[in-house]
């Protein structure tokens, strides 16, 4: 069996995941505006895919063919498959939008116009809105091949126009040949969706695109508007930091951030009803290649449906679940006093993230706290966590924050927050050449006693998710607050490695750290399950990740399956492992869950002949995580905590509402509920158990 048969292509696997997101837009059990949100998520995901992954595959076309063949690369074939699959999915999206979403909106008297307004009041409103507000922000451009080359802004929406103009020659009207023009839709000034006056007992909403489209004669007086079509160009946004080991990395990233707006084209999206002659003209005018061109519909950027107005709010929207505070932590005035008694495992977003903020805020003002160490990968705007680090430094604490500048699409935000912290006295350590620091860790040192009785106690927070109070309300993650010396001691070693940029072998006994043998350790644990199975013992592996891509670790799982080890995988996104192949992976199942929260936690479970091992981790099992990042996996040894995580995993594997099984051909196979079987929706069940204080009990009530 060759590699193409053994492993799914990474990018096609990701498109399979994004199709699972699109499936949520079809789910009529969801509130209508939740379905609209999933249309927006699907579109936003796809946009990023073309900005990064498709652009990366396309860049391989610039490698000489002989070298590509020697490396086993076939980017033309991959691009063809990507474009075919995207086209198929876009057709499905169009059907959902036209045949399901729009009629459902209309049933609630919410009408999204796709034509010129006809009611006099609407006509007056649109005319006045355009004439007084929109037209000053519209900048039309006539296209003149080889004379006027207009720069298309990344992800901006445009109308491409065919214009006609009559001239008189010796008193006779003569048709002048067609000219072409562009008008940018000013979504940087106005909302994409415009509410029109409420008339005839119905709400009417109009695309800003159409406000412009139906007033083009005012923009081009003297011309006849023959036709108009939507276009949009997406540019390569993957920053290539060359020669990273020399020079000032901060300055390089600042310089490259500017290049992102002018990157190579990665997708030119056009209305598929556009005439070929016009399309050919645009392609030549903007110097686009065949692979740049992808057909779309009349409207692009469905990610804007995140902000689609709901005149009936909160009706048609999903009710939020209030986060749950930990009663034990709240029973103490100081979180450090609570941690002196016991450790805490929190499950976000069900558990309140305020406890993490309290941990850092109280560290900032506690007179006994001397040092704070933390990593920063993606932080929220106006971050309360950044403010806590600043306040700590201002209060005389020794604060060091490792800021990863190469967190894609957060480079600028991370730079700004780092400069703000640095100005306040926080010691900032920037990115390590050749590596990304993706670990989510913090360590606080607190002093007790004086003189000879003086001692230091360390408090740690380790998580599967970022220090980001906003995404903590949307992502499903696990956070661990602990004072266990074996954990805090090794965490101190991790920070020492980051500060000194010294990655000589360190004998970690409890943490599993990428750059210190993570893949070898994980492979060893899989091999141990194989050995137990071959010795006639029970063996079981459960792995929950965002992405599984590394072929070496996949081969280890294949070996486990072939040995008869039961392998249950819960993989949200990319999964290059092919499940259910006889003789290769028939003992492996892959579950994918898409629901109200983004499943983001990473959990590793090994049965280990009854001496069960469980780890929470920042790392997915991808080459980049295992070889080019600093990641930390940490063990859970407390029986109650292990029971809580195991119960969550079992509920997720039994989900028959929002779970699908990944098929051997990348299909998302819905889990069929047997007759009489209760409906199990994992996220809802977990929330109920935490609310009732029953998570980790042996017999949960799931219905």
Cβ–Cβ under 8 Å, residues 301 and 157: yes
CATH superfamily assigned to domain 119-298: Polyphosphate kinase middle domain (3.30.1840.10)
Which residues share a beta bridge with 475?
598
Extract the tokens encoding 295.
């057909």
Q: What is the pLDDT of residue 703?
A: 39
Round to whole Å and give the CA distance between 324 and 373: 27
Q: Which residues of the chain does CATH 3.30.1840.10 include?
A: 119-298
**Residue whose pair of structure tokens reads 């692979």 in the numeric block:** 291
By the 10 Å C-beta count (0-12 exposed, 13-18 middle, 19+ buried), 69 is classed as exposed
What pairs with residue 429 in β-bridges? Answer: 402
Q: What is the pLDDT of residue 250?
A: 63
The enclosing H or E element of 345 equals: strand 344-348
| Residue labelled with tokens 């492979």 | 523
Q: How far is CA 554 from CA 581, 624, 628, in A?
A: 13, 14, 18
Omega before 314 cis (within 30°)? yes
Residues of the chain with CATH 3.30.870.10: 327-500, 512-692
Judge whether 191 and 208 are in contact, CB under 8 Å.
Answer: yes
Reading phi first (left if > 0) and then psi (alpha if -120 to 50, else beta), residue 606 is in: beta
Put residue 208 in one of left, alpha, beta given phi > 0 → left and psi -120 to 50 → alpha. alpha
Helix or strand run (H / E) with residue 640: helix 639-654
Burial (CB count <10 Å: 0-12, 13-18, 19+), residue 218: middle
Kindly write down the DSSP assignment for every residue of 467-483, as one continuous string.
Answer: S-TTGGGTEEEEEEEE-
Residue 397 burial (CB count, 10 A): 22
CB atoms < 10 A from the CB of 18, how many? 22
Q: What is the mean pLDDT of the chain?
A: 91
Catalytic residue among 438, 478, 532, 600: 438
Half-sphere CA count of 441, side-chain side, radius 13 A: 31
Helices 249-260 and 411-423 pack at an angle, to 10 degrees, of 140
* CB 96, CB 102: distance < 8 Å: no
DSSP 575: B
Q: How many residues does the chain have?
A: 703
Helix or strand run (H / E) with residue 675: none
CATH architecture label of 1-114: Up-down Bundle (1.20)
Owner of token pair 């990018």: 11
Of the candidates 197, 203, 206, 190, the residue with the CA atom closest to the CA atom of residue 116: 206
DSSP H helical ranges for 368-410: 384-394
CB contact at 8 A, 478 and 463:
yes
The CATH T-level fold of domain 327-500 is Endonuclease; Chain A (3.30.870)
Instruction: Look at residues 128, 147, 130, 148 and name the one whose alpha carbon lies nearest to residue 138.
Output: 130
* 438 counts as catalytic: yes
| Cβ proximity of 660 and 592 under 8 Å | yes
DSSP codes joined into one string, 61-127: GGS-HHHHHHHT--HHHHHHHHHHHHHHHHHHHHHHIIIIIHHHHHHTTEEEESS---SHHHHHHHH
Instruction: Of 582, 583, 603, give the one whose Cα is nearest residue 591.
Output: 603
Residue 701 is predicted with a pLDDT of 44
Strand order in the sheet with 110-113: 110-113, 203-207, 193-195
474 φ/ψ angles, rounded to the nearest 5 degrees:
-120, -25
Q: Classify residue 309 by burial, with Cβ atoms within 10 Å: 0-12, 13-18, 19+.
A: middle
Alpha helices in 192-261 (DSSP H): 208-213, 216-219, 249-260
**pLDDT by 10-residue block (mean), the chain, 703 residues:** 84 97 97 98 94 86 80 84 94 96 97 93 96 92 76 92 75 69 95 96 96 94 92 79 51 56 81 94 90 91 97 96 97 96 98 97 97 93 94 97 81 87 94 87 92 89 95 96 97 93 83 94 98 98 98 98 98 97 96 97 97 97 93 97 98 97 95 91 97 82 42
- Between CA 537 and CA 233 the distance in angstroms is 58
701 burial (CB, 10 Å; 0-12 / 13-18 / 19+) is exposed
Q: Using CA of residue 483, residue 487, residue 490, residue 491, what is the dihedral sign?
A: negative
Chain centre to alpha carbon of residue 334: 35
Transcribe 495-559 into DSSP letters: HHHHHHT--S----SS-EETTTTHHHHHHHHHHHHHHHHHTT---EEEEEES-B--HHHHHHHHH
- Residue 31's Cβ-count burial label (10 Å; 0-12, 13-18, 19+) is middle
**Backbone phi and psi for residue 184, each to the nearest 5 degrees, phi listed first:** -80, 135
* CA distance readout (Å), 632 to 46, 385, 460, 468, 540: 29, 20, 13, 18, 23
**C-alpha span between 617 and 604 (Å, rounded):** 8
Is residue 648 a contact partner of residue 686, using CB atoms and an 8 Å limit? yes
Q: Which two tokens stand for residue 410?
A: 């957060």
What token pair was written down for 673? 């509920």
Measured at the CA of 543, the angle between CA 539 and CA 544, to 5 degrees, comes to 155
Distance between CA atoms of residues 615 and 478, nearest Å: 11
504 phi and psi, to 5 degrees? -65, 155
Q: What's the CA gap between 274 and 291, in Å, rounded?
A: 17
* Domain covering 512-692 in this structure, CATH number: 3.30.870.10
CB 183 within 8 A of CB 158: yes
| CATH 1.20.58.310 domain range(s) in the chain | 1-114
List the alpha helices (DSSP H) in 134-275. Answer: 208-213, 216-219, 249-260
Lookup result for tokens 């007790």: 448
């Amino acid at each position: 069996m060759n590699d193409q048969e053994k492993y799914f292509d990474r990018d096609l696997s990701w498109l399979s995941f994004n199709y699972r997101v699109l499936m949520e837009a079809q789910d009529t059990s969801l509130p209508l505006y939740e379905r609209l949100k999933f249309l927006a998520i699907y579109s936003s995901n796809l946009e990023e895919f073309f900005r990064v992954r498709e652009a990366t595959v396309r860049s391989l076309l610039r490698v000489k063919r002989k070298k590509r063949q020697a490396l086993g690369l076939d980017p033309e074939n991959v691009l063809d498959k990507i474009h075919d699959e995207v086209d198929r999915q876009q057709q499905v999206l169009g059907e959902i939008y036209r045949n399901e979403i729009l009629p459902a909106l209309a049933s609630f008297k919410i009408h999204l116009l796709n034509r010129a307004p006809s009611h006099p009041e609407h006509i007056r409103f649109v005319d006045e809105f355009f004439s007084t507000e929109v037209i000053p922000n519209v900048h039309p451009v006539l296209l003149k091949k080889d004379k006027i080359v207009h720069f298309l802004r990344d992800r901006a929406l445009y109308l491409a126009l065919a214009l006609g103009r009559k001239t008189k020659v010796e008193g006779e009207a003569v048709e002048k040949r067609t000219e072409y023009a562009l008008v940018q839709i000013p979504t940087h000034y106005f909302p994409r969706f415009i509410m029109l006056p409420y008339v005839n007992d119905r709400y009417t909403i109009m695309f800003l695109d159409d406000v412009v489209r139906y007033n083009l004669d005012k923009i081009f007086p003297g011309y006849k508007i023959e036709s108009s079509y939507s276009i949009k160009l997406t540019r390569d946004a993957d920053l290539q930091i060359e020669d990273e080991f020399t020079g000032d990395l901060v300055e390089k990233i600042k310089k490259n951030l500017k290049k992102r707006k002018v990157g190579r084209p990665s997708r030119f999206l056009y209305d598929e009803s556009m005439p070929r002659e016009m399309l050919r003209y645009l392609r030549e005018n903007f110097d686009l290649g065949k692979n740049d061109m992808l057909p779309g519909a009349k409207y692009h950027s469905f990610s804007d449906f995140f902000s689609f107005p709901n005149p009936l709010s909160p009706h048609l929207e999903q009710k939020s679940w209030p986060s749950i505070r930990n009663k034990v932590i709240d029973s103490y005035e100081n979180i450090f006093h609570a941690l002196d008694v016991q450790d805490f495992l929190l499950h976000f977003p069900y558990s309140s993230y305020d406890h993490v903020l309290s941990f850092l805020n109280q560290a900032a003002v506690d007179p006994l706290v001397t040092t704070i160490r933390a990593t920063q990968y993606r932080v929220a705007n106006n971050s309360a966590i950044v403010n806590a680090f600043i306040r700590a430094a201002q209060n005389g604490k020794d604060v060091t924050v490792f800021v990863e500048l190469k967190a894609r699409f957060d480079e600028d935000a991370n730079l700004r927050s780092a400069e703000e912290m640095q100005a306040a006295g926080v010691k900032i350590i920037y990115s390590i050449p050749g590596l990304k620091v993706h670990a989510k860790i913090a360590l606080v040192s607190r002093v007790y006693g004086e003189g000879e009785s003086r001692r230091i106690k360390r408090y740690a927070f380790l998580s599967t998710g970022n220090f980001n109070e906003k995404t903590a309300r949307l992502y499903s993650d696990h956070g661990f607050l602990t004072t266990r010396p074996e954990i805090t001691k090794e965490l101190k070693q991790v920070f020492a490695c980051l500060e000194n940029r010294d990655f000589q072998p360190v004998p970690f006994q409890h943490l599993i750290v990428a750059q210190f043998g993570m893949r070898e350790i994980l492979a060893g644990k899989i091999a141990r399950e194989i050995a137990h199975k071959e010795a006639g013992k029970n063996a079981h592996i459960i792995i929950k990740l965002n992405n599984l891509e590394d072929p070496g670790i996949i081969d280890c799982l294949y070996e486990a399956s072939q040995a008869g080890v039961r392998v249950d995988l819960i993989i949200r996104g990319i999964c290059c492992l092919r499940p259910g192949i006889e003789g290769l992976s028939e003992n492996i199942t892959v579950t994918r869950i898409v629901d109200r929260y983004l499943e983001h936690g990473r959990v590793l479970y090994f049965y280990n002949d009854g001496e069960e091992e469980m780890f929470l981790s920042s790392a997915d099992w991808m080459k980049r995580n295992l070889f080019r990042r600093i990641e930390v996996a940490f063990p859970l040894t407390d029986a109650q905590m292990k029971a809580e995580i195991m119960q969550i995993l079992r509920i997720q594997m039994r989900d028959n509402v929002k779970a699908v099984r990944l098929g051997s051909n990348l299909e998302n196979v819905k889990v069929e509920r047997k007759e009489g079987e209760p409906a199990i929706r994992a996220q809802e069940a977990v929330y109920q158990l935490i609310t009732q204080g029953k998570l980790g009990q042996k017999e949960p009530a799931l219905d």
